[in-house]
Structure 1
Amino acid sequence: MSSENRIVASFAVPPALSDRRLDQAVAELMPEHSRSRLQSWIRSGALTVNGEVRRPKDKVMLSDRIELDAEPEAQVTWQAEAISLDIVYEDEHLLVINKPAGLVVHPAAGHADGTLVNALLNYAPEVENLPRAGIVHRLDKDTSGIMVVARSLIAHTSLVDQLQTRSMGREYEAVVVGTLTGGATVDAPIGRHPHERKKMGVVKSGKPAVTHYRLIERFAAHTHVRCKLESGRTHQIRVHMAHVKHPLVGDPLYGGRLRLPKGTTEELRQVLSAFHRQALHARQLTLEHPETGEILSWEVPLPEDFLGLLAALRKHVKDLESDEF
């Protein structure tokens, strides 16, 4: 089998992973693969250290050479479903998709079907041979917008590397509670919430996470912002904006109870009360094409519900101004 049809990787152990167990080190170096699959490759000899077969519990040292050469196996057992996709771009290596709010990315408990993965298996069956069906980054169920899916091993390896080195550009738009006076950066580690297991939080033991945000438009008691990620932690923008006391409008997990500012009209109250998802949209994606090296960028428009929210907030500002005269 040619190397193009195999899973091939090579790493030098960095200082941060020196003196760690082999299985722990490779889990950090190759997070796109499950721990059980990595351990099976170690035991079978497909994954070696300095050309030698090691045990999962053996320690690795600085600059040890970890190499993987394995045959791909079917990675998923989910069923293909004829679910329509809004495809922004595609070629033999990439699928760029505009995901609607409400679409779950991965099958899981409570969502065994009707997901993006089920749709991908129908549209591009080759992704069943890729880790996580080609999904290299996710959007929450109720976050809309652009995301990329690998449809080849070359693309999968490249995209994971771009995410890890933070060279993939991702920008989001959000509407937050409160009036911000300017842009800023939130640099705060994110990990599992210590008391509520369904939530993430800013915790000292969490992984590094950096979010930059800047103002697009200010309203009477809300702000439309653009966010740029340096990292990609679960719920990152939602957690970071709640951490600085400006949670996303409609966020059911981090937003708390609905807060209506003084002077809210009945019209705006109805719009805010009916907005039942976090006001978050993945607007722009920039990456290096895995085969050509060309820098590609795509942008998708805001969905109708997000536009309706912005329109209601603008109208509220005008209504307040007219009342002053």
Structure 2
Amino acid sequence: MHVIEKHIVPVLTQKFRLSEYIIGKFQSLQSRQGSKKAIKKNLILVDRSIGTTATWILGGETIELIDEENIPKTYNLPLDIVFEDEYMVIINKPAGLVVSGNQFKTAANAIISLANKSTVQDALPYPKPVHRLDSGTSGLLIFAKTRSALIALGNMFQSKSIRKEYLAIVTGKLNGNGDITKPIDDYECHSSYSTVKSVPSLKNNWLTLVKLSPHTGRTHQLRIHMASIGHPIFGDKLYGNEGEIYEGKGLFLTAVKLSFEHPVLKNNLNIEIPMPNKFDSLLKREERRWNKYH
């Protein structure tokens, strides 16, 4: 057992549930959700005993945050590492791969054997994802290799100081640039789009390649926003139309650029990857078929 952080509870005028008291008490656990997850994983000790959601904090206790000792089993899958240093590793996640969760075949389990172990003092036992991409979305995904980087990058995503750019193929003909501010689940949301090019399509009339930038971070935000203006992302089984899905081709959405200040070294990073081959192949095929029959 390795203690990451320790907190001595001062004299209190009232008692608190452990899950409420520890929010913000540890640098590694700044959010309510993160604190609850730590308790659920038995990573919080109260006077050397495992704390639970039923534990009351009365004052004077010693609360410790311990590290996860068990490294998950490695999923042997080659991944394209785009950037790596002592503090983080960035991969080009393939479409169809889950980032993490209660399953074995995840990017989080695959990166364990591929990333170099950090030699920094606060190194994590294995890289941990800082953000998420939908299973069907490919592209740039950041894993932290140290605790300080994990906290800093998490805060940067929360404060929107990491700029993200996606490419997508949407149905229909879209022109120019625009902003979409449709709320999602009653939360304010903001996405921007700019048109790259449109090609005619026998099946869909037009397909348009667009650059997308999410300025907020709601689940499925880009997919919902593009569908809301009548241009769903091609291959989207959830928000698109059945006739706009090619079996086996997946979702045509990819994260191609990340721009941010290094969380530790403070230099500016601009990480960029090319558009997947399947995007170019789809556009050329649709245009070729159109020209053949017209």
TM-score by length of 2: 0.75
Picking from 224, 241, 246, the partner of 2:231 is: 246
Tell me the CA shift for residue 44 of structure 1.
Answer: 3.2
Question: Gaps (5+ residues) in structure 2?
Answer: 8-18, 49-54, 201-205
SS in structure 1 at match of 2:156: helix
Give, as a single letter, the amino acid of the residue that structure 2 aligns with 1:101: A
Query: Is the contact made by 1:167 and 1:287 (CA closer than 8 Å) also made in structure 2?
Result: yes
- Counting only pairs closer than 5 Å after superposition, residues 6-155 of structure 1 correspond to structure 2 as 6=4, 22=20, 29-30=30-31, 33-37=34-38, 44=46, 71-74=65-68, 78-108=72-102, 112-124=103-115, 133-155=127-149
Give, as a single letter, the amino acid of the residue that structure 2 aligns with 1:217: K
Tell me the CA shift for residue 258 of structure 1.
Answer: 0.9
Tell me the CA shift for residue 230 of structure 1.
Answer: 1.1
Tell me the CA shift for residue 305 of structure 1.
Answer: 1.6
Change (3 A) 1:292 1:308: same
SS in structure 2 at match of 1:258: helix
Tell me the CA shift for residue 253 of structure 1.
Answer: 1.4
Query: Is the contact made by 1:23 and 1:35 (CA closer than 8 Å) also made in structure 2?
Result: no
Distance in 1 separating the partners of 2:253 and 2:126: 24
Give, as a single letter, the amino acid of the residue that structure 2 aligns with 1:35: K
SS in structure 2 at match of 1:237: helix
Tell me the CA shift for residue 124 of structure 1.
Answer: 4.0
Give, as a single letter, the amino acid of the residue that structure 2 aligns with 1:212: S
Number of residue pairs the alignment of both structures matches: 261
Query: Is the contact made by 1:97 and 1:146 (CA closer than 8 Å) also made in structure 2?
Result: yes
RMSD: 3.7
Identify, as 1 or 2, the structure richer in strand: 2
Q: Which deviations, in whole Å up to 9, do the C-alpha atoms of 1:86-121 show, x marking residues without a partner?
A: 10110110101011112221133xxx2221111122
Query: Is the contact made by 1:76 and 1:132 (CA closer than 8 Å) also made in structure 2?
Result: no
Query: Is the contact made by 2:43 and 2:65 (CA closer than 8 Å) also made in structure 1?
Result: no
Give, as a single letter, the amino acid of the residue that structure 2 aligns with 1:222: L
Query: Is the contact made by 2:199 and 2:286 (CA closer than 8 Å) also made in structure 1?
Result: yes
Query: Is the contact made by 1:7 and 1:153 (CA closer than 8 Å) also made in structure 2?
Result: no
Change (3 A) 1:224 1:36: closer
Distance in 1 separating the partners of 2:88 and 2:215: 22
Query: Is the contact made by 2:4 and 2:67 (CA closer than 8 Å) also made in structure 1?
Result: no
Tell me the CA shift for residue 219 of structure 1.
Answer: 2.1
Query: Is the contact made by 1:138 and 1:147 (CA closer than 8 Å) also made in structure 2?
Result: yes
Greater shift in the superposed pair: 231-240 or 288-297: 231-240
> Which residue is 2:207 aligned to?
222
Picking from 177, 186, 190, the partner of 1:183 is: 177
Runs of 4+ in 1 over 6 A off after TM superposition: 39-43
Tell me the CA shift for residue 56 of structure 1.
Answer: 7.6
> Which residue is 1:51 aligned to?
none
Tell me the CA shift for residue 312 of structure 1.
Answer: 1.8
> Which residue is 2:265 aligned to?
292
> Which residue is 2:283 aligned to?
310
Distance in 2 separating the partners of 1:105 and 1:231: 20
Give, as a single letter, the amino acid of the residue that structure 1 aligns with 2:140: I
